[in-house]
Structure 1
Amino acid sequence: MKGLIQWYLVLCFLLLSLNFKVDCSLSNFSSNSSMEVFLISKNKLVGEIPYSICNLISISVLDLSNNELSGAIPDCLASRGKMPNLTVLDLHMNKFHGNIPDSFVVGNKLQILNLNNNDFDGPFPKSLENCHDLQVLNLGNNKINGTFPHWLGTLPQLQVLVLRSNYFHGQISPSENESHFSALRILDLSHNEFSGLLPTTYFKSFRGMMTLSNVQRTSMEDLNRYYHFSVLVTMKGMDLVLERILTLFTTIDMSSNKFHGEIPEIVGNLISLQVLNFSHNSLTGHIPSSVGKLTALESLDLSTNKLVGEIPMQLNGLKFLEVLNLSQNQLVGLIPQGNQFNTFLNDSYGGNLGLCGFPVSKRCGKDEEQEPPESALHEEGIFPCPLDWKFVMMGYGCGLVLGLSTGYIMLTIGKPEWLVRMVQGLGYKILRRLKSYH
């Protein structure tokens, strides 16, 4: 069934998410509508956004996500003059294409812009630096090109920046005399063409990641009554959709790029990090011991780099670590033992031929060719006293003869009472000796 949805409405709220399961298109938004919240996500809406949507001059939240809408975005959605109260614009999971409008003006109230998973291309809209209230910017999974938008670092409330799976390239280097993302809690730059060294200057300024009590109430929490902001992150080897993430989650994902050089020690100051992913780059040097200070860390992925040296023993203190991937590097030495490290399997260390100890099959040092000494067996309580194996074999032979003889007697004349009493008496004596020994 196909048709038109015509909006000759004078409403404050319209929430139709997960309702329409038919192919419909948007048409004719009334010029006298006072609608403030328009949520119609997760349906099967098709076609383009009509220009009449610009008539929604009172709109605050516009969510058309998870549909099959296509075409370009009307410029009015980025213009304060047309929609002065717009705080949430969520168009993710559609088929929009073309350039993102570069017409965001000073004074707009936009807090959340989610255009993830469309077919947008062209340059990054520099006018986004005018969105001083912006807290969530998700442009992931598109075809946007250009260099890293360092000017976004001046936005005082930006907490989520997702640029994953685009065509960004070049080094990530901040400009002189500017702020550097002080409120940021989620940074996802994975699957691009970024190169150069990891951005140490930015890591030093991520104050939002430097304390475990950095959760602050923001004006955006008032939107939770009817709009749940979410973001797609790679965690524990899977892509997960996390809702209401601003006060719950902290992650850095810079995987699948062309970064080189060493992992800076300053990373250890970002103590609220729960996910750290630098995998699939060309990083060299040692794993910094300061990573052991990331006590909230749940997932650490440094795989497919050129890291050398030993695994720092300080990582053994990461008691919340559930996923560890250090595979395909050049690490050597003893794998830390105990705590969470007892839960990781071979695939956490594959390709590091110089590693030894549990869980890999290679033993460390002289243990590789030696069996545990007999004295160790005595100490561990396997045998209560030293043994002379000559007497053990003599006892075994005598026991065999006695057993066969006893069996023959019992089969021919029945169970003799004298034998039962003798065996019981020997049993009691053995038990008393064992008790006195211990």
Structure 2
Amino acid sequence: MKCFLKGNGYFWFMFLAHLVSVLKCGLLAHAMLDPIDFLALQNVRKSLEDLPGSNYFGSWDFTSDPCSFSGVYCDGDKVVVLNLGDPRAGSPGLTGRLDPEIGKLSSMAELTVVPGRIFGSLPDTLSQLKNLRFLAVSQNFIAGEIPASFGQLQGLHTLDLSFNQLTGNIPYSVGSLPALSNVVLCHNKLSGSIPPFVSQSLTRIDLKHNELSGSISPTGLPPSLQHLSLSRNQITGPVDVLLTRLNRLSYIDLSMNRFTGPIPAEIFTFPIGNLQLQRNQFSGPVRPTNLVTIPTIDLSYNRLSGEISPMFSTVQNLYLNNNRFMGHVPASFVDRLLASNIQILYLQHNYLTGIEINPTVEIPVSSSLCLQYNCMVLPVQTACPMKAGNQKTRPTSQCIEWKG
């Protein structure tokens, strides 16, 4: 044995030296990241896979520094940003589940997941990320409920869980988050009522395409709101007091709900490019106090009544069809229509009794006028959308009954 060691001493010396060097390098590489974060990333990696054609995880070699991985950004020895499927790495998306160990990345401020096929539920452990400011897990197949424990994310600015399969209520604890600026939960299967939102820096709420119901408190949304999208839900009740308070809105879509009551005149003074209130149960007259500068307004399929205000003649695309408007169409509408200032004027399916327009006049090619199914003989023949039907005039019996 002595003879063997003596004869091979140089070999064993070099082997041991190399082994020490490898171990040292490995320890140094791993020492660059906190051991808890290192193990958490390993578990995240084990629970996810690249979709076919992706090589996002190609750089995730745990014999090297994890802070150099695609989508991983560190501050010191802690992970602060994790972009899973970072599109800058050329990933079309990931599949698998979000491992609960992700909640051990205690310094993480931003977590994003690009569109893909990630399924399962949102880990409740995400609520442990006290520094989290930005959470975006959209366009995947996330199911289950939004954890009520997300109310512990007191510094959260953006919550984007859109285009998933989430069910259950929006937790009241989420509405109580004090720093929220963006809430995007559209295209899910969320139900129940909308909780009050307390953040005074909240600017965007997008909850369209869900199954939300109930009414919204007049003080349930902060005046800081600029973008409000609630389309395609089952929300009820009046919103006139609520909307009057939200005078910073630049985008409103409340269409396809069950809202009732009047539409406040103040809303027509807001800096809005597109006002969508169609397919609700709004009722009563609509009386803007000044000429309306909103380019597109859709109030169709409601229960609005009274005469049409001439203040709407400055609107480029105006949908007032399928309501209960009566009386004559203001002359200013005709003037602006013939001057091509009005592009769409849909007044069909009301109880209008007249419009002052020369029967021989030609409607500009760039403009569309529909007067079908009112209480008047059509003075001009115009192309109407197919939904207007084939009947040109409303039955006399209905007109007499409505007038009476």
RMSD: 3.3
Q: In structure 2, what is the equivalent of residue 112 of structure 1?
A: 182
The gaps in structure 2 that reach 5 residues or longer are 1-44, 50-59, 61-65, 67-71, 73-78, 385-404
Contact 1:135 1:158 in 2 (8 A): yes
For the residue of structure 2 that corresponds to 1:29, the secondary structure is: helix
Q: Residues 48 and 94 of structure 2 are in contact (CA less than 8 Å); yes or no, is this contact kept in structure 1?
A: no
Aligned counterpart, 1:182: 247
Q: Per-residue displacement from partner, 1:72-117 (whole Å, max 9, x unpaired)?
A: 112233x2xx323311111111110011110147672110101112
Residue in 2 that maps onto 1:103:
173
Matched, 1:284 2:305: yes
Alpha carbons of structure 1 residues 85 and 285: separation in structure 2 relative to 1, 3 Å: same
- Go from structure 1 to structure 2 and tell me whether the alpha carbon gap of 1:270 and 1:108 turns closer, same or farther (over 3 Å shift): farther
Among candidates 90, 108, 132, match of residue 59 of structure 1: 132
CA distance in 2, matches of 1:70, 1:304: 38
Q: Secondary structure at the match of 1:303?
A: coil
Query: Deviation at 1:333?
Result: 2.4
> Which structure has the bigger radius of gyration?
1
Q: Deviations over 1:173-223 (max 9, x none)?
A: 428xx9711211222221122223x232xx3267543xxxxxxxxxxxxxx
1:158 paired to 2:177: no
For each residue in 1:338-391, what CA deviation from the matched residue of structure 2 results, as whole angstroms up to 9, or x when unmatched? 898553346x33324533136479xxxxxxxxxxxxxxxxxxxxxxxxxxxxxx
Sequence identity percentage: 23
Q: Does 1:143 align with 2:143?
A: no
SS at match of 1:76: helix
Aligned to 2:245, the other structure's residue is in SS state coil
The amino acid that maps onto 2:328 is: E
Contact 1:334 1:355 in 2 (8 A): no
Matched, 1:14 2:83: yes
Q: Does 1:122 align with 2:192?
A: yes
Following the alignment from structure 1 to structure 2, what is the Cα–Cα distance between the partners of residues 107 and 143?
23
> Residue type matched to 1:160 in 2?
H
- What amino acid is aligned across from residue 81 of structure 2 in structure 1? C
Q: Does 1:333 align with 2:355?
A: yes
Q: Is the 8 A contact 2:188 2:209 kept in 1?
A: yes
Does the CA-based 8 Å contact 1:311-1:335 persist in structure 2?
Answer: no
Check whether the contact 1:299–1:324 (CA below 8 A) recurs between aligned residues. Answer: yes
Scaled by the length of structure 1, the TM-score of the pair is: 0.61
Distance 2:84 2:361 in 1: 51
> Residue 110 of structure 1 contacts residue 131 of structure 1 at CA under 8 Å; is this kept in 2?
yes
CA contact (8 A) 2:263 2:282 kept: no
Normalising by structure 2, we get a TM-score of 0.66
Deviation of the 1:4 alpha carbon: 1.7
Secondary structure, counterpart of 2:312 in structure 1: helix
User: Which of 357, 379, 382 is equivalent to 1:356?
Assistant: 379
1:308 & 1:179 partners in 2: Cα distance?
26
Looking at structure 2, the residues matched to 120 and 57 of structure 1 have their Cα atoms a distance apart, in angstroms, of 25
1:333 partner letter = I
- Work out the number of aligned pairs and report it: 304
Q: Which residue of 1 aligns with 2:63?
A: none
User: AA paired with 1:164?
Assistant: S
Match of 1:301 among 311, 315, 319: 319
Q: Which residue does the alignment assign to 1:86? A: 156
Aligned AA (1:300): L
Structure 1 residues 51 and 320: alpha-carbon distance in aligned structure 2, compared to 1, 3 A threshold? farther
Tell me how far apart the structure 2 counterparts of residues 58 and 320 of structure 1 sit (CA, whole Å).
52
The letter for the 2-side match of 1:288 is: S
The CA deviation at 1:61 is 1.8
Give 1:351's aligned amino acid: Y
Offset of 1:48 from its aligned partner?
0.4
